[in-house]
Amino acid sequence: MFSRFFEDLNAGYLSKIFFLIGIFAIGFAYYMEHLHNLPPCVLCIYQRWVYFFIIFLSVLLFVIDKQGKKGSKTIMFIFFLTFFVGSVISLYHMGVEKNWWVGTESCAANGDFGNADVDTLRKGLLQKSIPRCDEVLWSLFGISMAGYNFILSFLLSIFSLRYFKTMRNGSRKS
């Protein structure tokens, strides 16, 4: 059943789906940041970059598919790698949130002023602080945004790998 689905799926159509997924993920992140006042931590920013790259790859795949040029297989493999990297970053972020492991130095809050003078303290307080990576600012059904991103990225990595294998086996024209 699924093999037939992958055989019938067009790379141009898939590029549109991945483009919309990337736009939705970035849009949701900015929506939560600006309309619900949930500033991103460093790991959240890294996860956003994955989707920006997905959007770029989607446009590239669409153009290549429209022009009938070869390269769709390579781009599909890069999709797989990108989604896989995104799932690793979000899994790492989830682990930091759940205290399974300690985050990087950049995940710590930047509010330690030590023996700072008054001007340094004032500047530090006026700057927008970056939240810690181990603080969950929003969750739904006990799953944080990093958790949902892990689920989405992991499933999309499996999907893109399966599509790539279908293309490689010659079942798909590319």
Domains (range + CATH), the chain = 2-101+131-168 (1.20.1550.10)
pLDDT score at 110: 53
Residue 96's Cβ-side half-sphere holds a number of Cα atoms within 13 Å equal to: 25
d(CA 2, CA 98): 35
- pLDDT confidence of 150, banded at 50, 70, 90? very high
| pTM higher than the cut 0.85 | no
Mean pLDDT of the chain: 83
Question: What mean pLDDT do residues 24-36 have?
Answer: 94
Greatest extent of the chain over all pairs of C-alpha atoms, in Å: 68
Beta bridge partners of 144: 139
pLDDT score at 124: 61
User: What 3-state class would DSSP assign to 51?
Assistant: helix
